[in-house]
Structure 1
Amino acid sequence: MSAAALRTPFQPNWWARFGFLLLLVYCAYAVSELSITWERFVTGLHTGAKFLAELFPPSSKRLGLLFDNLVETVQIAVIASAVGIALSLPLGLLSARNLMPGWLTWPARAVIAISRSFHPVIFAILFVKAVGFGPLAGILTLVFASIGFVGKLFAEAIEEISLKPVEAVTAAGAPFMSVLTYAVLPQVFNRFIGFATYQFDSNLRNSTMIGVVGAGGIGGTLFAAFQRFDYDFLCTILLAIIGLIMVGEYLAVRIKATFND
């Protein structure tokens, strides 16, 4: 080792520094192109503070409508999660390149890639156009969202397993389903439960959003309240959504804890 290297044990990475500098230059250029100014930011703070002041106090009217929409939102999330996760199991398995031949993995990965290609709102618009307004469009939207997320992560989890148990069970003459049951699933089950609970939590959030474009749930009522400038009822809806998401988060934590014990 040279004397210069001994004097400076941590050599500067000039390529990394050049990359960070290039990123800063591009960000400055992008801000100028997007017409983002300090004056607009300050004006936005003032407008936002005025809007927040109009939200309070929350309205206690139309609680029956709010409750019905919350129930519909939960129903959409539960059905979509159950169907989407159930479909993700075989698709994720077929996508695992360490277990399946290429002529099976590529079509399965194509389905997962298509499911991940668009934001749920775009899928919601497409399904509203296809099946009409209402919960069915929301369920179909979140089924595709679940397949895209859980299917991809489940396939990657399978590809990371140790193949020694698979080889041992196969050498004992076990059929393919027994190999999956006793050699593959025990290695990925806990991770799959984590994927599933996270996706349910995500579907619960997304089900409150896709209603804005007519796919059922509380989002439609929220958008209508916003259009009517009914800000006190809008505040009630937002607080109800926050409470619903917190309950969903608690249930997800309890489910994961139950399966990990």
Structure 2
Amino acid sequence: MRADPFPPNWPLRIGVGIAVLYVAYASTQLGLDADRLLRGFGEGGRFIARMFPPNFARWELLVEGMLESLQIAVLSSVLGILVSLPLGLMAARNLSPIWLSAPTRGVIAVCRSLHYVIVAILFVKALGFGALAGVAALTVASMGFIAKLFAEAIEEISMKQVEAVRATGASAGGVLLYGVLPQVASRFIGFCIYQLDSNLRNSTLVGIVGAGGIGGTLFAAFKRFDYDFVCAILLSIIALIFLAEVISGRIRAALR
């Protein structure tokens, strides 16, 4: 008797069945129903109708908030990248001993474990309201993202080039400069551009919890039921993100 070339994968089937049953159970526990969803669509339509036409009369306040968000994004990206460089090198297991790479990876994991909004709330409590809390929160988020990807990129390099540079008697700095960085430079630049783009979006959100930027202006407009100004802010944020996406895309294309 010939063996079945495609035997059933029972562990996978059981796992999928358990997942489907849990989704059905969770849906009953959260009060999800079609009537509530339909009512929500109706309320959403009336809410959107109140947002138009957008009101740009207070453009000075809008520009001030957008510039602050841009400054928060740039500063946090630069600081996060500068700290991530040594963290990534120390976390790479092919370059650093285990007693150094293991705790460094623990620090990176801590930076990645909390959402940046939660970190922003903590910094607002510690540093007070304003842009400083936003810069600190997004710097921590940048460290967790860039350092992890940089360490993984270093672990994928060819050690032959590193050993060749070491054979010339180069110092540790020379090995990094001529043996490691040339192999990961393009990827690292891509990571940095992506993080700057991400921080630009995130900087518009941390202001909602008091960490500066256009998010604070947006939240204040919501509390005043000033929905036409809310629409103006949202359109401005979308335009800024689209512009950043175009610029980052051109930079990535130029680096290929």
1:1-261 pair list within 5 angstroms: 3-5=2-4, 9-260=5-256
Deviations 1:18-49 (A, max 9, x none): 21111110100111111212221111111111
SS for the counterpart of 1:208 is helix
TM-score under structure 2 length normalisation: 0.96
Deviations 1:103-151 (A, max 9, x none): 2112321221121121111111111111111111111111001000001
- Aligned mates of 2:69, 2:116 — CA distance in 1: 15
- Aligned mates of 1:4, 1:155 — CA distance in 2: 45
TM-score under structure 1 length normalisation: 0.94
SS for the counterpart of 1:3 is coil
- Deviation for aligned residue 1:220: 0.4
Aligned length: 256
- Aligned mates of 1:54, 1:110 — CA distance in 2: 48
Q: Give the aligned residue type for 1:192.
A: F
SS for the counterpart of 1:178 is helix
Identity of aligned residues (%): 58
Deviations 1:53-90 (A, max 9, x none): 11111112101110111111101101110111111011
- Deviation for aligned residue 1:258: 2.6
SS for the counterpart of 2:11 is helix
- Deviation for aligned residue 1:244: 0.7
Q: Which of structure 1's runs of 4+ aligned residues deviate more than 4 A? A: none
Q: Give the aligned residue type for 1:189.
A: A
- Aligned mates of 1:14, 1:102 — CA distance in 2: 39
What value does the CA root-mean-square deviation take over the aligned residues?
Answer: 1.2
- Deviation for aligned residue 1:257: 2.2
Unaligned regions of 5+ residues in structure 2, if any?
none
Unaligned regions of 5+ residues in structure 1, if any?
none
Q: Give the aligned residue type for 1:29.
A: Y
Q: Give the aligned residue type for 1:3.
A: R
- Deviation for aligned residue 1:4: 4.2
- Aligned mates of 2:96, 2:221 — CA distance in 1: 51
